Structure 1
Amino acid sequence: MKILGCSPDGRHAVEVEAEAGVITQVSRLSTASGPRDLPVLAPGLVDAQVNGYAGHDVNGEDVEPGTIIAITHALARAGTTSWVPTIITGPRERIMHALDCVRRARDADPVVRAAIPCAHVEGPFISPDDGARGVHDPRHIRPIDADEVTAWKSAGPVGIVTVSGAGAEAPAHIRRIRQLGIAVSIGHTSAASAEISRAVAAGAHLATHLGNGIPTMVPRHPNPMWTLLADDRVRVGLIADGHHLPAETLIAMIRAKQPRGAYLVSDLTAVGGCSPGRYTTAVGGEVELSDNLRLSHLGSDMLAGAAATLLDGVRFLTRATPFTLTEALDLASRLPALATPGSRRALGRIRPGAPADVLLLDPDTVQVETVIVGGNHR
């Protein structure tokens, strides 16, 4: 297979050759019409935090392997060719069941196996405080427990666990979780800066949607955001839908973490990809989706999760910040792949040896024209 497009900066025509699902050669070409007449060639996007999409819910009571398969194919059509199913706070049995569904979906479909490097359990070891817990059910929030995480691993491919990092017992549990080969992320937290520093020293090296899942009022300094931004050992996920973080906050956070300490996530819920209107969701309850993809609790301005895709985040970043399309695509492909356990070699890149997951995008609108997954058109 040969794929022709232009580089994201519009300077070069690029031809990609792929065989057996892997990129074998990448060449710059001269064209009579010029590279800007070609679609933008980009790696498939890698979303490290997805709760659901297109009406399908990882956290729903009716989740089954078919749910995970359906989300995989729907996300690919929107430009996200790799993703991490994210299971939020709930009873142990529900978490175990969702993980088992991810495992069975990967076993049943090789495309799904390639698309899903691992699963993310976001909670239940988070702060019960208002603001910090977000929409997580306070009835099921509980202290960090490495034994429970060990049980999760027997059910499915858990690769990331989000914890608050608070409490004197947290570092010991974090070390045990890391020994299981599972990444620990700090999020939904009211922890003091010293507690977060101890959690990072114990092995927590990611931050879940930094700037969200935190009390609405925090001290000027110190606070968890400064601590996580200042520590070069920590990579931070950021929601770039234009609602969770203002543009200037995104700019400052990304610049603080350059060159590779930040990456974009969507935090999509099942309402993503649906028409504007009112919905009942497992994650946010009664919610309303507006025309601008803001998802709010019904009757209030409070956010109830996200409905914008990762490519929507790329577009927002290029429109509202100084970051270029090249930089925005990198934040949504190569950099999340580096942060995600289980990622395939060179995932999120256009280079020999990388998976042949490729997007062709309209150069003006940055909308998907063509999606290629594993060397096959989708």
Structure 2
Amino acid sequence: MNTFRLLARRYDTLRPVVVDIAAGHIQSIQADFAHQTSAGHLPIVAPGLIDLQVNGLAGHELNHPHVSPDDVEAVTQGMLQAGVTHYLPTCTTDSRELLVRSLGVIATAKESLPRSRQSIAGIHLEGPYISAEDGPRGAHPREHVRPPSLEEFKQLQSAARGHIKLVTLSPEYPDSIELIRYLVQQGVLVAIGHTAASSEQITAAVDAGATLSTHLGNGAHPSIKRHPNYIWDQLADDRLTATLIADGHHLPTSVLKSMLRVKGLERSLLVSDITALAGMPPGIYRSGLGEVEVLEDGKLVVAHQRQLLAGASRDLLYCINHLRSALGLSIENAIDLASLRPAQHLGMASHGLEIGAPANLVVLSLRDLQLHHECTILGGEIVSGNLIA
């Protein structure tokens, strides 16, 4: 294991510190009094970012008939280059056969490839047990939407070799609650998403153990009943933590601000929902969701229209910067939404900038009020970029 010393500013106080790293862990954190009055040039060190919703990256689609372990490893490398130390590869609504294959490939990568073994914290199954209605269904293919099946989920979890950690589903089906209870008993997180459920169905889902709302405010009807509705219901339930896509496309600033005020920082977290088309030039592409289009501003939509979104093209660091510029959040609060909050839900109690914690860190520079990735440290090893200062 590498042994090295990092001179940087803490993300939560912006005070300069010396961080000693050895044997994969943070050995000490000491105040750097020599730079107390001239710390502005130092980088910022923070806990590594954690993304619970990653569909693909740079042409590598995880829910694809020909996905390979090397594709998964490439996505992992791309996450590390963006400061994400841990993530959940996400498989979306499709046929049982394709899901079985994709889940198996991701499990193989997690178990056998070096970076994926360290970074993949589990698998997110988004669908196929979601609403079939236009709007809530989003870009998920209607022909593969189906009611929950305990028998099918057991087959999918077997294909994933037990690595499914999070399931997004709609509680609007008669068998939804039975599946939620089973998932919770098995230690699988349950999120409500892509739903047209009633107030009573949402309450029943939370009573059964659902704890998250997947990209709240998206995967919804363009027009809904003023009240009650499934967005208000999830906002109002303090047992649910809202995952939010803060890329400037998925939620208007006023909506994002309102949701964060209602949920509070302690019941909110950021996800990217990033896809294989992130970084691709404008145009129409064929994906597992059908024809999708990258618009001139990077917005990703179902092809031939401009409103129905088809995933995202921005990473978590972009979302952090958007939150800071649009809502004025501090560096600490914005980063916590993409690091400590998701870590808590994954049971990663020691994920943080503290003595004894695993050295899973991101080093950032601050230029023109924007945070920029400089270096990612995973398990005490520099795996992307270079230390600066």
Decide: shared fold, TM above 0.5: yes
Residue in structure 1 matching 2:19, options 16, 21, 25 = 16
**2:128 matched to 1:140?**
no
Structure 2 residue aligned with 1:55: 59
Task: State the one-letter code of the partner of 1:128.
Answer: A
On the 8 A contact 1:345/1:353 being kept in 2, the answer is no
Q: In the aligned structure 2, how far is the partner of 1:113 from the partner of 1:57?
A: 19
On the 8 A contact 1:8/1:40 being kept in 2, the answer is yes
The 10-residue stretch of structure 1 (45-54 or 108-117) with the greater mean CA deviation from structure 2: 108-117
> Is there any run of 5+ residues in structure 2 with no aligned partner, and where?
385-389
Deviation at 1:259, TM superposition (A): 4.1
Q: In the aligned structure 2, how far is the partner of 1:322 from the partner of 1:106?
A: 37
Structure 2 residue aligned with 1:168: 174
Pair 1:289–1:330, CA change in 2 (3 A): same
Structure 1 residue aligned with 2:132: 128
Structure 1 residue aligned with 2:207: 201
Structure 2 residue aligned with 1:307: 313
On the 8 A contact 2:282/2:293 being kept in 1, the answer is no
On the 8 A contact 1:10/1:35 being kept in 2, the answer is no
The 10-residue stretch of structure 1 (361-370 or 129-138) with the greater mean CA deviation from structure 2: 361-370
Cα deviation 1:247-280 (Å, max 9, x = unaligned): 1211111222224211000000101133444433
Pair 1:13–1:284, CA change in 2 (3 A): farther
Structure 1 residue aligned with 2:225: 219
**2:8 matched to 1:42?**
no
Deviation at 1:23, TM superposition (A): 1.7
Determine helix, strand or coil for the equivalent of 1:4: strand
TM norm structure 2? 0.92
Task: State the one-letter code of the partner of 2:187.
Answer: G
Determine helix, strand or coil for the equivalent of 2:270: strand
What stretches of structure 1 move > 6 A for 4+ residues in a row? none
On the 8 A contact 2:56/2:276 being kept in 1, the answer is yes
Determine helix, strand or coil for the equivalent of 2:294: strand
Task: State the one-letter code of the partner of 1:82.
Answer: H
Q: In the aligned structure 2, how far is the partner of 1:298 from the partner of 1:336?
A: 32
Structure 1 residue aligned with 2:333: 327
Structure 2 residue aligned with 1:70: 74
**2:287 matched to 1:281?**
yes
Structure 1 residue aligned with 2:298: 293
Residue in structure 1 matching 2:7, options 4, 7, 22 = 4
Pair 1:84–1:70, CA change in 2 (3 A): same
Cα deviation 1:283-319 (Å, max 9, x = unaligned): 35231242x3311233321222100000000000000
The 10-residue stretch of structure 1 (296-305 or 203-212) with the greater mean CA deviation from structure 2: 296-305
Give the number of equivalent residue pairs.
374
Determine helix, strand or coil for the equivalent of 1:2: strand
Q: In the aligned structure 1, how far is the partner of 2:267 from the partner of 2:260?
A: 8
Q: In the aligned structure 1, how far is the partner of 2:12 from the partner of 2:22?
A: 26
> Is there any run of 5+ residues in structure 1 with no aligned partner, and where?
none
Structure 1 residue aligned with 2:28: 25
Pair 1:296–1:172, CA change in 2 (3 A): closer
Q: In the aligned structure 2, how far is the partner of 1:122 from the partner of 1:190?
A: 15
Pair 1:289–1:20, CA change in 2 (3 A): farther
Q: In the aligned structure 2, how far is the partner of 1:251 from the partner of 1:284?
A: 32
Q: In the aligned structure 2, how far is the partner of 1:138 from the partner of 1:279?
A: 19
Determine helix, strand or coil for the equivalent of 1:314: helix
Deviation at 1:10, TM superposition (A): 6.1
Pair 1:153–1:57, CA change in 2 (3 A): same
Q: In the aligned structure 1, how far is the partner of 2:148 from the partner of 2:277?
A: 30
Q: In the aligned structure 1, how far is the partner of 2:137 from the partner of 2:31?
A: 49
The 10-residue stretch of structure 1 (296-305 or 321-330) with the greater mean CA deviation from structure 2: 296-305
